[in-house]
Chain A
Amino acid sequence: MAGDGINRTAIADFIFQEARLLDARNFRDWMALFADDGTYWVPSVPGQQSPFDQASLFYDDRDLMKTRVERLEHPRIHVQTPPSRTAHLIGNVVVEEEDAANGELVVGSTVIMAEYRDDAQRVFAGRQRHRLRRHGDTFLIVQKRVDLINCDAAFEAMAVPI
């Protein structure tokens, strides 16, 4: 198994904490978990190879993430009036890779997010992969990729990150 000698509890806690920030709608602190060159990617094609030649549900760099978060904080974001309430459940956390060159870790997990808004509840489910860079005694997210099991479905509006 990759990543021998890694503090697995600390890694899992980091992944859990990231989801808790989303559930708390603390989007600013969530964004701060990403490295300056970090990206948040939700493909729209199963097994999508690249965000540059196919459409994606989300593919945000830090600039776009900032615009997204500012919009989520805007008083007249109609699609969040009323706001979503979400609950993430993260499991099956596994360190999949450790980059020998730079020490970055790829952590896989399963995510289920229930979202309630405006009298309707729905569920998202999929696999997620975090590429993490060590940062002091914690981590920065180099990429968070969420592969929804229904990534190529027709979705109703999605306002909050998964």
Chain B
Amino acid sequence: MRNGHAEEISKLIEPGRVHRRVYSDPDLFELEMERIFGRAWLFVGHVSQVPNPGDYVTTDLGRAPVIMARHRDGSVQVLLNRCSHRGAKVVNERRGHAPRLTCCYHGWSFDTDGRLLTVPVPEGCGEGFDKDALGLACAPRVGEYRGFIFASLAVKGQSFEDHIGPVKDNIDDLVDRAPDGALALDAGMHRYAFNGNWKLQVENVLDSYHVPFGHASTVNKDGVQFARREGDRKGATVVEAERKQTAASWKDRKSFIAGNGHGWTSNTALDEGKRSSPVFDEYKKALAEKVGAARADEILTPRLHNSLIYPNLSIMGLNIHVRVIKPIAVDRTEVNIYPIRLIGAPDAMNAANIRLLNVTHSAASFVQTDDLESFARAQKGLRSTMTDWVDISRGLGAEEPDRERNATRGLATHEMVVRAQYKAWLGYMAEAA
């Protein structure tokens, strides 16, 4: 697999199954870092994380440590966090503010657009020393949609517009909930890690099949999950208690794909329009004052549950957040989840959302922890060479067109979305460098 021949890689993906090596082969993982994370449009961060010139956050795009910085001209720059001199990571903090970025090793300093500013002991530089050519490398392509910054580490490839096109509406669905039409990712983040392949998390975000089983410990004896959101009197009904089977309303949930590996699931009507509490009502009023009552009703009608913007971002509409998936090794993944502050919403509503996310997605939450257990157990099972294939065939052939979103629709308890992810995966992986 080291050579990454297209023909050999193509054999790993079949219409309804995936070879276990996709999750467990370290060579394939390195190839993914090169061909997926080195090429695809990846979510880097949100403009609200760097409001002022000199503000920066650091993250990793596959194997590349990067700095997302706000430059003096207001632009958001995505720079390789590697000194152009001897290769040291320049910025070590996760976030901060600095007028210039100075390497700890020999003191080379860079502007927030990557330009090399000063080199200590300049008389030691040779004659051909070209300061202009020795800036921090910049991501070759950067795109933004409503504050979400994406970058591609490849010079060529699908345009950002074409990549994000099918799921623009899903980002709108989240941003439109803010009375002022803007979000802030400034409420900290949840970080969790697991001994499993990154795709186990990616597949899971749109998986409605697992909920009654994987999250059985969150479902009471009446088959109802604990109430999640401000203003809800109860949670989703996921199990029919008497018949001890997945509830019909849960089975009716839909999932959607629209190309590029992206997908989303429809929401369960939790509230039948009755979601209400003093805090929620005040928020709804604030939203209606900005956008009108009819539009506010439309915005607050749950349409989307989880959306996946392949390969490294998911956004959730139910308990609102942004989730970033970071592959570390073939069997190690870190995930960062950002609570979202809706600009213009009452503080109490934002506080309620922040508190809710502790309960559902912190490393100590009621929901995410059982998923982490499933991911780790999957990785253990997939070590075995006795059986090669992972089944992803649920609903194969049952997909249907969805004209409203120019998408393809299936049941959310089917595996259409996973198959779509592997189609995109193969598109990146089978294309030679």
- State whether B217 touches A158 (Cβ < 8 A): no
- State whether A78 touches B362 (Cβ < 8 A): no
Asked whether A44 and B190 contact (CB < 8 A) given A52-B354, A53-B354, A76-B216, the answer is: yes
User: Looking at the complex, which one of B339, B347, B372, B373 makes contact with A55 (CB distance below 8 Å)?
Assistant: B339
Contact string against A for B residues 229-249, beta-carbon threshold 8 Å, 1 for contact and 0 otherwise: 000000000000000000000
Point out the residues of chain B lying under 8 angstroms from A71, CB to CB: 217-218, 366
Q: Which of B55-63, B173-181, B191-199 contacts A (4 or more CB under 8 A)?
A: B191-199
Asked whether A55 and B363 contact (CB < 8 A) given A78-B214, A157-B368, A159-B369, the answer is: no
Q: Which residue of A lies closest to B333 (CB)?
A: A154
Asked whether A52 and B191 contact (CB < 8 A) given A78-B374, A157-B369, A159-B364, the answer is: no
Asked whether A3 is an interface residue with its Cβ less than 8 Å from the other chain, the reply is no
- State whether B363 touches A52 (Cβ < 8 A): no
Asked whether A68 is an interface residue with its Cβ less than 8 Å from the other chain, the reply is yes
Determine the distance from Cα of A45 to Cα of B188 in the docked complex, in whole angstroms: 7
Determine the distance from Cα of A153 to Cα of B336 in the docked complex, in whole angstroms: 11
Determine the distance from Cα of A155 to Cα of B370 in the docked complex, in whole angstroms: 14
Contact string against B for A residues 128-155, beta-carbon threshold 8 Å, 1 for contact and 0 otherwise: 0000000000000000000000001111
Q: Which of A17-25, A56-64, A95-103 contacts B (4 or more CB under 8 A)?
A: A56-64
Q: Which residue of A lies closest to B341 (CB)?
A: A53
Asked whether B267 is an interface residue with its Cβ less than 8 Å from the other chain, the reply is no
Q: Which residue of B lies closest to A52 (CB)?
A: B351
- State whether B218 touches A52 (Cβ < 8 A): no
- State whether B362 touches A57 (Cβ < 8 A): yes
Q: Which of A51, A67, A74, A157 has the most CB of B within 10 A?
A: A157
Secondary structure type dominating chain A contacts: loop
Shortest CB distance A111–B (Å) = 15
- State whether B358 touches A55 (Cβ < 8 A): yes
Determine the distance from Cα of A81 to Cα of B190 in the docked complex, in whole angstroms: 24
Asked whether A79 is an interface residue with its Cβ less than 8 Å from the other chain, the reply is yes
Determine the distance from Cα of A52 to Cα of B355 in the docked complex, in whole angstroms: 7
Asked whether A4 is an interface residue with its Cβ less than 8 Å from the other chain, the reply is no
Determine the distance from Cα of A59 to Cα of B216 in the docked complex, in whole angstroms: 22
Asked whether A54 is an interface residue with its Cβ less than 8 Å from the other chain, the reply is yes
Q: Which residue of A lies closest to B194 (CB)?
A: A156
Q: How many residues of A contact B (CB 8 A)?
A: 31
CB interface residues, A 35-83, toward B, < 8 Å: 42, 44-45, 48, 51-59, 64, 67-68, 71, 74, 76-79, 81
Determine the distance from Cα of A77 to Cα of B335 in the docked complex, in whole angstroms: 22
Point out the residues of chain B lying under 8 angstroms from A64, CB to CB: 359
- State whether B191 touches A152 (Cβ < 8 A): yes
Point out the residues of chain A lying under 8 angstroms from B192, CB to CB: 154-157
Q: Which of A57, A77, A154 has the most CB of B within 10 A?
A: A154
Asked whether B417 is an interface residue with its Cβ less than 8 Å from the other chain, the reply is no
Determine the distance from Cα of A56 to Cα of B362 in the docked complex, in whole angstroms: 7
Determine the distance from Cα of A57 to Cα of B194 in the docked complex, in whole angstroms: 16
Q: Which residue of A lies closest to B195 (CB)?
A: A156
- State whether B368 touches A54 (Cβ < 8 A): no
Point out the residues of chain B lying under 8 angstroms from A57, CB to CB: 190, 358, 362-364
Asked whether B189 is an interface residue with its Cβ less than 8 Å from the other chain, the reply is yes
Point out the residues of chain A lying under 8 angstroms from B347, CB to CB: 52-53
Determine the distance from Cα of A43 to Cα of B187 in the docked complex, in whole angstroms: 12
Q: Which residue of A lies closest to B370 (CB)?
A: A78
Point out the residues of chain A lying under 8 angstroms from B357, CB to CB: 55
The 21 sampled A-B contact pairs (Cβ below 8 Å) are A44-B188, A44-B190, A51-B354, A53-B187, A53-B351, A54-B354, A55-B337, A55-B354, A56-B358, A57-B363, A58-B364, A59-B355, A59-B358, A64-B359, A154-B334, A155-B193, A156-B193, A157-B192, A157-B194, A157-B364, A157-B368
Using a CB–CB cutoff of 8 Å, the interface residues on chain B facing chain A are 94, 187-195, 214, 216-218, 226, 334-337, 339, 347, 350-351, 354-355, 357-359, 362-364, 366, 368-370, 372-374
Besides the known contacts A67-B226, A74-B217, A79-B372, 20 further A-B residue pairs in the complex with CB atoms under 8 A apart: A44-B189, A48-B188, A52-B354, A52-B355, A53-B347, A55-B190, A55-B354, A57-B362, A58-B362, A58-B364, A76-B217, A77-B217, A79-B373, A152-B191, A153-B191, A154-B335, A155-B191, A156-B195, A157-B363, A157-B364
